[in-house]
């Protein structure tokens, strides 16, 4: 660790904003690395773009969590997006992100299409009257701090289902399916009880030291049925350029990998 820019406690969590020798500017919450400058694009592009292209031309997007603003940055790349609402429980953390992480979120918070709501994601989902095309759930891990845990339940996904449009898509980060298979499988099954199409995919994030898994669910289009060409066409039409890892061919390969990665097992 080269430099500690901030270390303190908000009402909800322990926050450290540091610069690592190799990974650069990084956010740590309750001792767990959330994102680093060197590889956050892997995590955030893999989180956001499969859901956005599965919808095809999302006009309104809800982000739950995502305090750093990087998920918001990815969503705002799309020409079709008219409104992006980011709901994070921790207002102090969002202020710290604005202050210290600007060169990575590229001032997404100031985009006129973006609004930030400081509220528990579950409470917001219960209260809002708005309908969204895509919902992106970017929370602390399902086996992490208590504040995020109730946002991985079947009940929560039912609530999301009713606030998404006919072509609605939802995606959540689901932690590490290798070390915590029961959490990952629980999320997958909870979504399967609610949505017609559900897929899981994973990608290696070096600073996490594991492959992070995601679960994506859609009302009317199977994300795994899309060809690479179809995905690339949508990215072109939407004016999405300069991505570091995501493309049509990555989309295809993510969706083809086994949904549940092998986990520890001592049986033959």
Q: What is the CA radius of gyration of the chain?
A: 17
Window 28-47: residues binding ligand SAM (CB under 6 A): 34-35, 43
**Closest to ligand SAM by CB, 146 or 241:** 146
Instruction: Please choose, out of 136-144, 161-169, 176-184, 223-231, the segment that lies near ligand SAM by the rule CB under 6 A.
Output: 136-144
**Closest to ligand SAM by CB, 124 or 197:** 124
Window 160-179: residues binding ligand SAM (CB under 6 A): 173
**Closest to ligand SAM by CB, 164 or 172:** 172
The residue count of the chain comes to 268
Dihedral angle sign, alpha carbons of residues 260, 264, 267, 268: positive
Residues 136 and 121: their CA atoms lie apart, in Å, by: 11
Rounded to a whole number of angstroms, the minimum distance from the CB of residue 15 to ligand SAM is: 9
Q: Is 69 in the site for ligand SAM (CB under 6 A)?
A: no
Residues 59 and 79: their CA atoms lie apart, in Å, by: 9
Instruction: Please choose, out of 49-57, 75-83, 137-145, 163-171, the segment that lies near ligand SAM by the rule CB under 6 A.
Output: 137-145
Interface residue with ligand SAM, options 39, 68, 133, 238 (CB under 6 A): 68
Instruction: Please choose, out of 51-59, 76-84, 88-96, 164-172, the segment that lies near ligand SAM by the rule CB under 6 A.
Output: 88-96
Rounded to a whole number of angstroms, the minimum distance from the CB of residue 65 to ligand SAM is: 3
- 216: helix, strand or coil: strand
Which of 88, 138, 141, 232 is catalytic? The answer is: 138
Residue 232 is a catalytic residue: no
Dihedral angle sign, alpha carbons of residues 98, 20, 202, 193: negative
Residue that has been written with the tokens 């990084």 in this structure: 26
Rounded to a whole number of angstroms, the minimum distance from the CB of residue 157 to ligand SAM is: 15
Where does this chain bind ligand SAM (CB under 6 A)? 34-35, 43, 64-68, 87-90, 93, 120-121, 138-141, 147-148, 151, 173
- Give the active site residues: 138
């Amino acid at each position: 660790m080269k430099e500690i820019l901030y270390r303190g406690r908000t009402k909800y969590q322990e926050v450290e904003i540091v610069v690592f020798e190799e990974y650069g500017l990084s956010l740590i919450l309750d001792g767990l690395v959330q994102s680093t400058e060197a590889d956050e694009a892997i995590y955030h592009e893999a989180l956001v773009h499969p859901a956005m292209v599965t919808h095809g031309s999302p006009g309104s997007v809800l982000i739950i969590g995502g305090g750093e603003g990087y998920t918001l940055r990815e969503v705002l790349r799309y020409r079709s997006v008219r409104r992006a609402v980011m709901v994070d429980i921790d207002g102090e953390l969002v202020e710290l992100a604005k202050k210290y992480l600007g060169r990575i979120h590229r001032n997404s918070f100031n985009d006129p299409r973006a609004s930030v709501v400081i509220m528990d994601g579950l409470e917001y989902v219960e209260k809002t009257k708005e309908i969204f095309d895509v919902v992106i759930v970017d929370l602390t891990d399902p086996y992490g701090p208590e504040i995020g845990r109730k946002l991985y339940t079947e009940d929560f996904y039912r609530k999301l289902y009713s606030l998404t449009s006919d072509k609605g898509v939802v995606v959540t980060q689901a932690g590490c399916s290798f070390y915590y298979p029961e959490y990952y499988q629980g999320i997958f099954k909870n979504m399967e009880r609610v949505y017609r199409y559900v897929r899981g995919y994973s990608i290696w994030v070096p600073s996490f030291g594991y492959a992070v898994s995601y679960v994506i669910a859609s009302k009317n289009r199977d994300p795994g049925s899309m060809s690479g060409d179809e995905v690339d066409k949508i990215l072109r039409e939407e004016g999405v350029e300069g991505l570091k890892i995501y493309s049509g061919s990555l989309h295809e390969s993510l969706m083809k990998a086994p949904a549940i990665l092998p986990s520890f097992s001592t049986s033959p």
